[in-house]
Amino acid sequence: MKNDRFLRALRREPVDCTPVWIMRQAGRYLPEYRATRARAGSFLALAKTPELACEVTLQPLERFELDAAILFSDILTVPDAMGLGLYFVEGEGPKFERPVRSAADVARLAVPDIGAELGYVTDAVSLIRRELDGRVPLIGFSGSPWTLACYMVEGGSSDNFARIKAMMYDDPATLHRLLDVVTQAVIAYLAAQREAGAQALQIFDTWGGVLAPAMYREFSLRYLTRIAQELPRGEGGNRTPLILFGKGNAPHLEALADSGAEGIGVDWSVTLEEARRRTGGRVALQGNLDPAVLFASPERIRSEAAAVLQSYGPGPGHVFNLGHGITPDVKPDHLKALVDAVHELSRTAP
Ligand code: CP3
């Protein structure tokens, strides 16, 4: 491995400077991504063709000195493989042809055969590893059971989560059966990505923050913890690190630090100083610049990056990232200003 600062930071070992990668680093803000997507015909065709998924995974690494690559795919490949029929409507985001609405719908679900249904993902992972040739580590990922269940029950994006919350309050046993089968699928999916060559794994719990605290513990945290405990990841220095990213997870940092995961990804609603104090050095922290800072001038981006580094403070265990994904309207030069600032400002004397 030519550059292992990302993996070292997750192990809370000393680094020459703070590693940085960006959620959604391969995406629509890059003209070369838009060109490859146009060639593929659609986002799903792009994600389902390993050669093209590999190409867009590597694009941001050509422009920026990023310290990790992330597999180009989507969290909704898992429910798609479970037979829900994923499709995208321009301007409306993801949708399912067959959402899960009843106890009978849940009873019909099974853990997908990863090789048969998601082989395009593991093929992309192997290909990307080969093309990276040790340049930086490759991150694999999955949605969290709760976040995947949100899309499966709502049938797409939602602003109030009316259907899944009605199920949660009126028929919690059915929702737990759904979360159980999705958890088994996520474990099999992440294990397969690891087998194919993913060197770190991240779970996106995009919607955990919409839950009241007791509900978060019962319907999101419980399943995140189960994954952290049950996912086979190896032992000692070779253990594949797991990062739990959650939008709005700040109220639960103490519990997340006890889940068994190596890293916790946080949004910008909490300072890293507070997050570090509350997690007591038990985990590495990833984050947490407000993605909207990238709309400001390069000078302001640099000073805000300095503020995040300063908030984390000295010592190992920080992976710099945004507090959520980069948005499609960011200028690529602004991301370059951020990545370079993180490395320059955090470099320690040799
Ligand atoms: O970080 C990366 O570079 C890896 C790629 C990645 C994508 N989606 C590519 C993508 C990752 C990690 C995701 C995760 C994902 N997908 C999440 C969790 C994200 C988070 O930050 O919390 C969610 C909720 C989804 C579901 C999904 N897929 C949505 C809501 C959308 C956007 C739809 C829209 O029209 O805006 C997608 C599509 C998608 N996934 C795009 C990309 C680059 C845009 C597709 C396009 O090219 O049109």
Q: Is 75 in the pocket of ligand 1 (CB under 6 A)?
A: yes
- Compute the CA torsion angle 301, 304, 305, 309 (nearest 10 deg): 170
CA 130 – CA 123 distance, rounded (Å)? 11
CA of 76 to the centre of ligand 1 (A): 9
CA 346 – CA 18 distance, rounded (Å)? 6
Is residue 217 within 8 A of residue 255, CB to CB? The reply is yes
Minimal-distance CA residue to ligand 1 atom 33? 93
The ipTM value here is 0.92
Q: Residues of the chain with pLDDT > 90: what percent?
A: 97
pLDDT (tens digit per residue) in 238-284? 899 999 999 999 999 999 999 999 999 999 999 999 999 999 999 99
> Tokens for 265?
């990804």
Dihedral sign, CA of 96, 100, 106, 108?
Answer: negative
pTM beyond cutoff 0.95: yes
CB count in 10 Å sphere of residue 130: 10
Dihedral sign, CA of 227, 316, 20, 264?
Answer: positive
Q: Is the pLDDT of residue 350 over 70?
A: no
**Bridge-partner residues for 308, per DSSP?**
none
CA 321 – CA 308 distance, rounded (Å)? 10
Burial of 96 (0-12, 13-18, 19+ CB in 10 A): buried
Residue holding tokens 């995947």?
148
CA of 46 to the centre of ligand 1 (A): 12
